[in-house]
Amino acid sequence: KMVGCGLLTAKKNPVPLKSVEVELQVKDHVATVISTLNYQNKEDKPIEALFVFPLPGDAAVCHFSADIGQTHIVAELKEKQQAREEYDDALSSGQQAFLLEESEQSPDIFSLSVGSLPPGESASIRLQYVIELAVEADGALRFCLPAVLNPRYQPQDGFKPFISSLCLNTNDPSVPASEIPYSLSFSARVSSPRPVSKVESSCSLEPLQYLNTDHTEAAVKLAAGHKFDRDVELLIYYKDAHQPSAVVEAGQDSAQPGTLMGDPVVMVSLYPEFPESVVSKRASCGEFVFLVDRSGSMDCPTNNWNQQETRISSARDTLLLLLKSLPMGCYFNIYGFGSSYDHIFLQSVEYSEKSMEEALKKVKVMQADLGGTEILQPLQHIYSQPCISNQPRQVFHNSLNRYCWFSSSGCLSHRDNPLLQLVSLQKASGCWLLDAALASVLGKTSEEVEKSKPAEVSSEVWATILALIWLHGFKMDAKDEWELLAVKAASWVQAQNGNMSRL
């Protein structure tokens, strides 16, 4: 079940949102997001309010402030227990107080207790974070506004799932912009040592305005009439994107020289360009060796709030995602280590539907049953194996507290996690089958997904398109986990001459 977002009461009911204002400042490859959310308590009694704010896993909060009536509060960084005690003391004495901390359920969700909000009173919450922008395949820098800053609006007569409205030809009545009870103001300013070529978006934008003659600074705004029916996504293109660049920022005058904040810093961006022939050749080759810690300590819980979820079960989920992401024609093997070590195959084998399924069967029963944590011997064995011609070897290793691969926070079982259910259904080629299992993950019946399929599109292509739309519609916050297998799926669709843009 998804955590509610925005300003909530103690009973998890939403406090009415009045407006959202977002300012995006992009410097080369890094973005600063400054957001202000305005709420109002329309009840006839005070409410104890909680602000829940999911962020990308690689975002860093650098400022928080709030206004309640005439009271202005700026957050200070303090040790967690001390901060909680001071917050409780302030509430007990009748003072306004705020507490911003990472959620105990997930390190990517920040929760903010804003204390008592009087009836009729407004609350203005200002939060600022920084994030490195992802680079797309065509060289664009991608920014996506978090859902809490772009809340979906649904009319009061009900909610129909994203898949239904987008894929299954369900005609939902549109909601006039004048009836949406909140507004969104979004502006972006882009600066780089290189000229800004263009800015594209999934939403309507006002014309791009250049702020200087060499086009290294530009500004753009979201056009009026935003429907709140899609992600606000920006794609920023630079000229000469593959040329190295550097951005210098002076230290703060108020900070002591010789400290992190007092000294100037330099950000260097390196984005090499490889010939297409090299990229296409390497995309389908490689020997991938996964080295899994199976020592007894991996049987410990991954976190304090879910004692049933262990580190080894999280590692199994990680291996599922990785195995589904491998390209056809590569080679792979899986080692487990503790006081001793073992491997699934005698030597790395070619990746195929058969070898993938064989590996997954063994991964499902993998346990933390190999004693201590001695990694030298398996590494020596891996590197003593003869290299496979034209298959460069890569070794991926997980340890007790650090993962070189993704390890989801508070992972759930396949039965409870739709993402893992969907991933487990993907074939080695990258496609999905249009069957009852896929329909169940999408929340539909087999008849509904079959009926929605265009006559000229094959069942496998349609199933794969539905899976990709579901990932982009519901799981953008977990994109780092499924991005590689989605690229693999999209490549498979293109190879089948599937026209995704037309659909």
Structural domain boundaries enclosing 412: 280-495
452 vs 497, more confident: 452
284 domain-assigned:
yes
User: What is d(CA 446, CA 423) in angstroms, rounded to the nearest whole number?
Assistant: 18
When mean pLDDT is compared across 62-76, 289-303, 340-354, 359-373, the lowest value belongs to 62-76
The residue-averaged pLDDT of 408-417 equals 45
pLDDT of residue 173: 36
Do 365 and 294 belong to one domain?
Answer: yes
User: What is d(CA 41, CA 53) in angstroms, rounded to the nearest whole number?
Assistant: 19
C-alpha pair distances (Å), 305 with each of 11, 91, 301, 420: 20, 26, 9, 21
Do 146 and 226 belong to one domain?
Answer: yes
Structural domains in the chain (count): 2
User: What is d(CA 376, CA 337) in angstroms, rounded to the nearest whole number?
Assistant: 9
Do 232 and 298 belong to one domain?
Answer: no
* 9, β-bridge pairs: 49
Q: CA neighbours within 13 Å on the CB side: how many for 366?
A: 33
CB 435 within 8 A of CB 454: no
pLDDT of residue 483: 84
305 vs 62, more confident: 62
Q: What is the CATH classification number for the domain harbouring 14?
A: 2.60.40.1730
Do 290 and 141 belong to one domain?
Answer: no
Mean pLDDT over the full length of the chain = 80
Highest average pLDDT, of 313-327, 336-350, 465-479, comes from 336-350
Other Cβ atoms less than 10 A from the Cβ of 15: the count is 21
Other Cβ atoms less than 10 A from the Cβ of 462: the count is 21
Q: What is the CATH classification number for the domain harbouring 434?
A: 3.40.50
Do 226 and 309 belong to one domain?
Answer: no
Do 30 and 139 belong to one domain?
Answer: yes
The residue-averaged pLDDT of 265-273 equals 83
Do 188 and 326 belong to one domain?
Answer: no
304 domain-assigned:
yes
Last residue of a domain, one of 237, 265, 297: 237
At 321, phi and psi to the nearest 5? Answer: -60, -40
314 domain-assigned:
yes
Last residue of a domain, one of 206, 237, 268: 237
Last residue of a domain, one of 171, 204, 237: 237
355 vs 302, more confident: 355
Q: At what angle do helices 311-325 and 418-425 cross, to 10 degrees?
A: 40
Instruction: Name which of 48, 44, 39 is nearest 66 in CA terms.
Output: 39
C-alpha pair distances (Å), 410 with each of 108, 302, 314: 11, 7, 9
At residue 305 the predicted structure's pLDDT band, cuts being 50, 70 and 90, is low
pTM above 0.85, yes or no: no
Report residue 449 as tokens. Answer: 């997904």
388 domain-assigned:
yes
When mean pLDDT is compared across 22-36, 141-155, 215-229, 261-275, the lowest value belongs to 141-155
Residue 443 pLDDT > 50? yes
Do 224 and 331 belong to one domain?
Answer: no
Do 368 and 436 belong to one domain?
Answer: yes
Do 220 and 303 belong to one domain?
Answer: no
Q: How many residues does the chain have?
A: 503
Helix (H) or strand (E) holding 40: strand 30-40
169 domain-assigned:
yes
CA quadruple 135, 137, 139, 143: dihedral, nearest 10: -40
Residue 409 pLDDT > 50? no
The residue-averaged pLDDT of 48-62 equals 79
